Amino acid sequence: MKNLISKNIGLSLLLISAILLSSFILSKPAAKPTFYLIGDSTVKNGKGRGDGDLWGWGNYIAAYFDTTRVAVENDALGGTSSRTFQTMGLWDKVLTKVKPGDFVIMQFGHNDSGALDDTARARGTIRGTGNEQKEVYNPIRKVQEVVKTYGWYMRKYVADIKAKGATPIICSPIPRNKWKDGKSDGRNDVDSYGQWAKEVSTQSGAYFIDLNKLIADDYDTEGEAKVKSTYFGTDGTHTLESGAQLNAKFVIQGIRSFNQLALNKYLK
């Protein structure tokens, strides 16, 4: 009789433990989504600490979001192209963290126009969005490498993100501080990285923010003198804090323009 009672008590305790464990698992809050940023120095300059008074727009994105509900992680690296962000292993490090329900925004193009195999960077991509490729010797990595088009690398980002159950967003590159006849000449239109970024978004089904046009239109309104003195430092590509903040504002404007984009619900 005692053994039977002890056995019943043991079974009851196991049942209670199972119920409590099940309740804990069911009530455990799901991990909050992460909004990842990848790109070049115009997204994160240096270590993102304002070295040389230069900043990327990625530094100012988190302030627009309720970070108790969504994490914002800026993994951009200066000097990279759509190609080298992958071949250097940077994309793999980000991709391993991406989970269903996350978001990834990308902006590449400023460095893609470089040489394919020079001894300084070897970071260029083949122009366009086709499937052309060229085998080169990469003197930086000291390997033979098959280089693809800008569009090919961008499509791979999108495919990888979608395979993880996350949402890809493509931005056209921000305009450079170039002017012609009083108008911004930093536009990326036909036969350019801005146009190709748009084509990739159409081909792959990614969201597209025409950051280049949004900012260039604003530059035209503000005027050459103000833009040069307020938003840029010693070169025509990298922005001061005010310029990075302006660019971030237009990234958020682009995000808000998509009613169906779930990322919107985490904005303040």
Give me the active site residues, please: 41, 235, 238
**Where do the DSSP E strands lie in the chain?**
34-39, 71-74, 103-107, 133-138, 143-148, 167-171, 179-180, 183-184, 207-209
From residue 181, give the alpha-carbon distance in Å to each of 61, 178, 185, 186: 33, 10, 9, 12
Angular region, 185: left φ>0, alpha ψ -120 to 50, beta rest: alpha
Q: What is the DSSP letter of 210?
A: -
CA distance 212 to 63: 22
Query: Letter for the amino acid at 242?
Result: S
From residue 245, give the alpha-carbon distance in Å to each of 126, 135, 165, 215: 31, 40, 30, 12
